[in-house]
């Protein structure tokens, strides 16, 4: 029986913490013990786990002989397993059940964990041993994977400040702890605004344009808030975007849009403007201490782009054709609004609504006609079917495992010979205390250091649940996201490496999105849709004319989609290149978008005060450009299938698995792509994919 944060009884901290750090038991090499999680016990569990890793590192330093790969790097890979286990439990709980004591615990523990990571990085004797192995890597007879690990660990320590003097190390540690606290504050503020801000619709007439299934979901959301007889539009993307696409009531569209884009920008306790300004200043100071001009230079150095200038160059190259397309589209949208007697200029809360009218006029396609055929359960089976056809994987449901929430389900994954590959968890629905959006988690990384360890991964979404006995219907955009995140899961599941630090998705930020974005393409395959896009009431397949319209609409509205993303990606890089002066987010946003020439009918996909990608952690900071960089790889890779026997070409799929999906970070990503494609990436494929002219 899972335990929920909002229902926690008082506990003795020491009583349960060992169970949260202990090796996982049960089938499949052990599974996460969600039935043992008690949030109030996390502090004690983390203390026990950190103490265990300190002891393990102490044993490495006590080795009497010279540093070697086995007694230093391999031993370091084995250390910290207790911490990895408890951190998995904590981070999943914090992202999917941030209730009760969890927000306070997150604020308390994240700086402590940052300090512990710095304690390891700043351990001089440990770094000297790592450095000795790295410098002797070619003479020591290490294989290619071992040399890659030596490079990775050495450069990670150097880039994190291992070579700084005592004063520099102390300041880095203070900065990292403060940043950890600010990241937590930022993300919690966004979640608070998502939870407390929602639109309540009193009259059914105001639902004009919305599909019956969406209305029913809004009515259920109102009932959950004790608002019977009304309709609630939750402040999450899965609810907001369909509303903006189809709601005829312009005033309500504006209300819903403003609540969503102004998260973290409303003044008061949840305002993020000062938070993000301090984050930027501290990142700049840290980069300077580490010897880099800006945080952007530090962040992009080891990515495929290599420099922020290269990343900006790609973004701006795509901006020009996207802007031209948007200008043409806005003119057409305005003409539609004018013909209808609107008497207003197209605003951001109008764009999606009139785009759907334009889609209908140009392509005779209404995506609301498609949604009745997009059943979540069948689309999940479609992903399984595609993974089986491409990579020989089979998925079997597993019952009886501990779960962090009753809505979570689990599948065991096997290869074509029936051998166990890993476990896949799915947590599909929005709920109180769950972060918005969609993401993939690694619960356990694949490795073979001391014997085979199978991966455990999860996909997490925020779909709107259906009524009792009714299938869950999702939008076309949500279906694309479902396939995207499953691509990340496949990357983790198909890993075949020795060392956990090199496993699965532990690759360059602008490479990790390549497998996920590539996996989106199979959703558009007519054969897959013919099998799995079935009407939720009649069971009839998606009609061939409707399927043909979907295929023909592949490049429709790409200007808007590209430009709202590019605005966010360029803002991310430029705000991290701006230096340490006073930072006014609203002014910087306005000036940057004005410089770019963003039309008034568009805004950034993620406005600064709710831009969790870059301000709730360091992972994507100066790295949001990665989605476009990876899409260049994606477009070129997809053309490899089309140049062969088509989307299901077994030879190309085998090459993708062998050269990309299975190798993790054991080789440079450019070399991995070159091994798959036979050459370096061509940006021309990206332009063709988006329907832009190729120079």
- Residues labelled as active-site residues: 485
Whether 128 contacts 63, CB under 8 Å: no
Alpha carbon separation from 534 to 68, 500, 647 (Å, rounded) = 59, 41, 21
Whether 410 contacts 423, CB under 8 Å: yes
Q: Rounded to 5, what percent of the chain is helix, strand, coil?
A: 60, 5, 35
Q: Which three-class secondary structure state does DSSP give residue 239? A: helix
Instruction: Pick the closest to residue 86 from 154, 22, 26 (CA basis).
Output: 22
d(CA 363, CA 556): 9
Q: Which three-class secondary structure state does DSSP give residue 89? A: helix
Q: Which three-class secondary structure state does DSSP give residue 674? A: helix
| Cβ atoms within 10 Å, residue 221 | 21
Q: Which three-class secondary structure state does DSSP give residue 252? A: helix
Whether 478 contacts 597, CB under 8 Å: no
d(CA 255, CA 253): 5
d(CA 637, CA 522): 13
- Tokens representing residue 140 in the block: 């020591």
d(CA 80, CA 106): 20
Roughly how many angstroms between the first and final C-alpha of the chain, as a whole number?
60
Q: Which three-class secondary structure state does DSSP give residue 508? A: coil
- Residue 324 φ then ψ, to 5°: -60, -40
d(CA 243, CA 350): 11
Name residue, tokens 């290619």: 144
d(CA 117, CA 332): 54
Angle at which helix 166-196 crosses helix 273-289, to 10 degrees, equals: 160
d(CA 244, CA 365): 17
Whether 136 contacts 489, CB under 8 Å: no
Q: Which residues are registered as beta bridge partners of 534?
A: 541
Name residue, tokens 């103490």: 51
Q: Which three-class secondary structure state does DSSP give residue 105? A: helix
User: CB-based burial of residue 660 (10 Å sphere; 0-12 exposed, 13-18 middle, 19+ buried)?
Assistant: buried
Q: How far is CA 532 from the centre of its chain?
A: 26
| Cβ atoms within 10 Å, residue 89 | 22
Name residue, tokens 């391999």: 74
Angle at which helix 476-493 crosses helix 509-519, to 10 degrees, equals: 120
Q: Which three-class secondary structure state does DSSP give residue 412? A: strand
How many residues would you count in the chain? Answer: 695
Q: Which residues contact 617 (CB under 8 A, 6 or more apart)?
A: 183
């Amino acid at each position: 029986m899972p335990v929920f944060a909002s229902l926690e009884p008082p506990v003795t901290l020491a009583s349960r913490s060992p169970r949260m750090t202990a090796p996982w038991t049960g089938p499949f090499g052990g599974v996460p013990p969600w039935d043992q999680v008690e949030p109030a016990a996390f502090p004690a569990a983390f203390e026990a786990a950190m103490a265990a890793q300190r002891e393990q590192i102490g044993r490495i330093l006590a080795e009497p002989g010279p540093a070697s790969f086995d007694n230093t790097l391999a031993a370091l890979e084995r250390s910290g397993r207790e911490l990895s286990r408890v951190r998995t439990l904590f981070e999943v709980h914090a992202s999917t059940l941030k209730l009760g004591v969890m927000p306070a615990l997150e604020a308390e523990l994240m700086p402590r964990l940052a300090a512990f990571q710095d304690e390891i990085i700043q351990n001089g004797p440990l770094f000297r041993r790592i450095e000795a192995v790295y410098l002797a890597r070619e003479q020591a007879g290490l294989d290619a994977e071992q040399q890659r690990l030596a490079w990775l660990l050495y450069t990670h320590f150097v880039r994190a400040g291992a070579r700084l003097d005592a004063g520099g190390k102390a300041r880095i540690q203070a900065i990292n702890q403060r940043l950890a606290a600010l990241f937590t504050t930022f993300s919690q503020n966004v979640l608070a605004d998502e939870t407390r801000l929602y639109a309540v619709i009193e009259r059914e007439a105001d639902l004009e344009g919305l599909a019956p299934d969406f209305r029913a979901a809004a009515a259920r959301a109102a009932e959950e808030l004790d608002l019977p007889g009304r309709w609630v539009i939750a402040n999450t993307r899965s609810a907001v975007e369909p509303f903006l696409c189809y709601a005829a009531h312009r005033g309500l569209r504006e209300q819903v849009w403003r609540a969503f884009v102004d998260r973290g920008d409303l003044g008061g306790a949840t305002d993020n403007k000062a938070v993000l300004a301090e984050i930027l200043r501290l990142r700049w100071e840290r980069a300077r201490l580490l010897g880099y001009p800006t945080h952007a230079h530090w962040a992009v150095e080891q990515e495929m782009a290599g420099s922020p200038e290269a990343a900006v160059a790609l973004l701006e190259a795509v901006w020009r054709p996207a802007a031209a397309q948007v200008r043409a589209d806005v003119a057409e949208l305005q003409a539609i609004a004018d013909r209808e007697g609107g008497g207003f200029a197209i605003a951001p809360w109008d764009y999606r609504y009139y785009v759907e009218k334009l889609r209908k006029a140009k392509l005779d396609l209404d995506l609301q006609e498609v949604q009745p055929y997009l059943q979540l359960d069948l689309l999940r089976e479609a992903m399984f079917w595609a993974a089986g056809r491409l990579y020989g994987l089979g998925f079997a449901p597993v019952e009886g495992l501990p779960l962090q929430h009753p809505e979570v389900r689990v599948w065991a994954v096997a290869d074509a010979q029936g051998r166990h590959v890993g476990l896949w968890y799915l947590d599909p629905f929005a709920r109180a205390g769950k972060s918005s959006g969609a993401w993939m988690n690694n619960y356990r990384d694949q490795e073979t250091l001391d014997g085979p360890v199978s991966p455990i991964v999860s996909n997490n979404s925020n779909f709107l649940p259906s009524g009792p006995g009714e299938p869950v219907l999702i939008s076309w955009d949500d279906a694309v996201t479902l396939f995207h995140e499953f691509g990340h899961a496949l990357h983790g599941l198909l890993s075949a490496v020795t060392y956990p630090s090199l496993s699965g998705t532990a690759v360059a930020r602008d490479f990790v999105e390549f497998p996920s974005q590539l996996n989106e393409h199979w959703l558009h395959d007519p054969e897959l849709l013919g099998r799995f896009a079935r009407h939720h009431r009649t069971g009839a397949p998606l009609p061939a004319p409707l399927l043909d319209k979907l295929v023909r609409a592949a490049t429709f509205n790409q200007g808007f989609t590209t430009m709202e993303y590019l605005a966010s990606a360029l803002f991310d890089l430029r705000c991290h290149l701006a230096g340490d002066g006073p930072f006014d987010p609203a002014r910087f946003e306005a000036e940057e978008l004005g410089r770019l020439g963003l039309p008034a009918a568009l805004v950034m996909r993620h406005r600064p005060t709710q831009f969790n990608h870059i301000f709730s952690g360091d992972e994507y900071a100066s790295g949001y450009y990665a989605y476009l960089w990876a899409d260049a790889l994606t477009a070129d890779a997809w053309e490899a299938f089309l140049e062969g026997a088509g989307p299901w070409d077994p030879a190309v799929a085998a090459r993708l698995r062998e050269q990309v999906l299975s190798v993790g970070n054991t080789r440079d990503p450019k070399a991995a792509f070159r091994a798959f494609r036979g050459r370096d990436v061509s940006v021309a494929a990206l332009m063709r994919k988006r329907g832009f002219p190729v120079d």
